[in-house]
């Protein structure tokens, strides 16, 4: 079974920790995340549960990310593009094509959902627009 599984819990821990290391070091995203995350250890645990729920279907994540994200001030589409770029840089470190593909698909869905929700909340009179990328 090990050869057919999408990924392990250790893969998800590595993905989350390496991704958020990149985020924290990023000139655009680092200050935003650091300003709104009080406890990085707790955040990383929560994100491992989130990604395990998506990728391994563990159902361990209990939370509502939308309200926290729509409460952030001055978020713009290019920030989600950068978030996705950093995510892809992280998934590129894995030699598990199906895992990489699935993780990137979920990341795109998450980013798009949060961006649309943000726009609908902050500009309800306008239709949401896509990210500023192809």
Q: Are 70 and 36 in contact (CB under 8 A)?
A: no
Across the chain, mean pLDDT equals 91
What does DSSP assign to residue 129? -
pLDDT interval class at 123 (50, 70, 90): confident
**Model pLDDT for residues 12-68, shown as the tens digit of each residue:** 999 999 999 999 999 999 999 999 999 999 999 999 999 999 999 998 888 888 778
Q: Using alpha carbons only, give the angle 46, 68, 19 rounded to the nearest 5 degrees.
A: 45
Quote the CA–CA distance of 66 and 55 in Å, as a whole number: 19
pLDDT in tens, 32-48: 999 999 999 999 999 99
* CA–CA distance, 4 with 78 (Å, rounded to integer): 36
- Looking at CATH, the fold of the domain delimited by 9-122 is given as Globin-like (1.10.490)
Give the whole-angstrom CA distance, residue 11 versus residue 2.
13
Alpha carbons 78 and 40: distance in angstroms, whole number: 24
Residue 103, pLDDT above cutoff 90: yes
- pLDDT of 133 > 80? The answer is no
CA distance 134 to 72: 25
* pLDDT at residue 1, rounded to an integer: 35
Record the pTM: 0.90
């Amino acid at each position: 079974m090990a050869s057919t599984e999408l990924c392990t819990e250790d893969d998800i821990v590595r993905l989350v920790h390496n991704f958020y290391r990149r985020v924290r070091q990023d000139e655009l995203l680092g200050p935003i995340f650091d300003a709104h995350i009080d406890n990085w250890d707790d955040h990383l645990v929560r994100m491992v549960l989130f990604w395990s729920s998506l990728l391994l279907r563990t159902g361990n994540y209990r939370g509502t990310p939308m309200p926290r994200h729509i409460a952030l001030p001055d978020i713009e589409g290019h920030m989600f593009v950068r978030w996705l770029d950093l995510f892809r840089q992280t998934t590129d470190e894995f030699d598990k094509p199906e895992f990489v593909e699935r993780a990137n698909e979920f990341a795109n869905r998450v980013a798009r959902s949060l961006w649309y929700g943000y726009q609908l909340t902050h500009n309800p009179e306008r239709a949401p627009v896509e990210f500023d990328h192809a």
